[in-house]
Structure 1
């Protein structure tokens, strides 16, 4: 077995290293990492605590809204139009240029993503992509077929979309990740007794992403046929009232709280599905705090 190795020659960039010695990758085989590095414009100082949200434009927000399907006899997603409409209104109020695509095929979804990735985002703060659809473990559905969720963000890594390098890229996915149900646990109240700004720097290609799923892997995701999905209802409420004040991870913590505490399934004619719970699942590769402060 040959491990991947990062050879450190000399003391260059020594001050940036949190620990001494050489770094090794936990992977089989070997690889030459010396080629293929991309270069992109620095959108914010190296150690800035906040993302730069002072560009000319807020940026694009794409909403892939899937209601009807031609595959696997998937049921019509009644109520998704409420999600799409509510989210679009909130994102417009935050300064985004919103584009809603209804019932697109897999090839159309990928074509839209590729087209947006090839745009010049130099004057944009960030990017948001939302998918409202059916799903199962490791899979999302377009109108005609399924695809892997990671295909959504592949186009926007720093090396594939350099004008978004170092800028936040947010993905909100309303879909089931399985068919398990969460009956919840009742909690009973009891008393407890007992650097330099001009310095260039490199970032990982997958930095500055945030991926928010409506539910945890393996579990069901709930949608009200009139008001829309629990996750989108909560997300829109938090963005509407706190979107320009709280950083996104704090805001999403309260989205999780809303979904976890304020919602419970109401299907008395199907007792197995009745009074079930849900909590979103957030994965963050953000490297700074993100606040959608008001545009002047």
Structure 2
């Protein structure tokens, strides 16, 4: 590969319990009884295997693209506009209404997310948010300061955004999660032998989220200065060729494969950074298979 830059800088009353007895939590906590009074419209039958992707619209896709920063220690992210343009194009082809926002300060990022969560998503299949930025362990950077990643999805839980309840909420984050390097290992084959139900049901408020980081916690995420980041290149390629056919977790498995096997840092002038590897990190709370399908 060409030169790459690191981005461091119920249960219902009639359901039977298999073992009898009551359920208890493993920690003290508080609960808000008002949550149980929140009702969202059921987007798909309770036991459906697939999410309903036949609403009027696919939904919103928001790309927060950060190239330049007010934080002096953070370098400009050369190549990020290639990622942003490629992702925007492929998401539009999948039917998303795409908005790209460049170099926003945290206050503006947060306000945009709150306004988005307050909108009516009843006619939308899903929601997608992507962040292209610098990061470190447990933090992402806006133009002016850092913030915790959970700010991105906090306002979209089912209790806060009922019109997205039961629908996929997807988050893709291209950023470092630390300064560790993954040198990889070499494998050898020498040791090998040859229609909607009217019945209601409840869901957890954090169900139906998918959160994908470009790298695992603690590690660098690599970006090519002319081709864009490894993760976004691989994601866009998989979405382009099989985004309407494969379920999202299968698709992301091949994204991980592509990043893990096809890419290696090329920085011979910096030996400690040379020939390093990377693999994305997926956290799924999806409760059904997600296949975008064709949107007419």
Give the TM-score taking structure 2 as reference length. Answer: 0.93
Match of 1:36 in 2: 35
Kindly state the Cα deviation for residue 198 of structure 1 after the two structures are TM-superposed. 2.5
Match of 2:108 in 1: 108
Q: Secondary structure at the match of 1:172?
A: strand
Matched residue count:
285
Match of 1:12 in 2: 13
Match of 2:57 in 1: 57
Q: Secondary structure at the match of 1:23?
A: coil
Seen in structure 2, the aligned counterparts of structure 1 residues 160 and 34 have a Cα distance that, compared at 3 Å, is closer
Seen in structure 2, the aligned counterparts of structure 1 residues 33 and 19 have a Cα distance that, compared at 3 Å, is farther
Q: Secondary structure at the match of 2:91?
A: helix
Kindly state the Cα deviation for residue 71 of structure 1 after the two structures are TM-superposed. 1.1
Give the TM-score taking structure 1 as reference length. Answer: 0.93
Greater CA deviation, 109-118 or 184-193?
A: 184-193
* Cα distance in 2 between the residues matched to 1:263 and 1:185: 14
Match of 1:237 in 2: 237
The structure whose RCO (Cα within 8 Å, separation 6+) is larger is 2
Q: Secondary structure at the match of 2:127?
A: strand
Match of 1:275 in 2: 275
* Cα distance in 1 between the residues matched to 2:18 and 2:254: 33
Runs of 5+ in structure 2 lacking a partner?
1-9
Match of 1:258 in 2: 258
* Cα distance in 2 between the residues matched to 1:106 and 1:288: 33
* Cα distance in 2 between the residues matched to 1:286 and 1:18: 24
Mapping for residues 201-212 of structure 1, pairs under 5 Å? 201-212=201-212
Seen in structure 2, the aligned counterparts of structure 1 residues 125 and 32 have a Cα distance that, compared at 3 Å, is closer
Seen in structure 2, the aligned counterparts of structure 1 residues 18 and 289 have a Cα distance that, compared at 3 Å, is farther
Matched, 1:27 2:34: no
Mapping for residues 146-185 of structure 1, pairs under 5 Å? 146-185=146-185
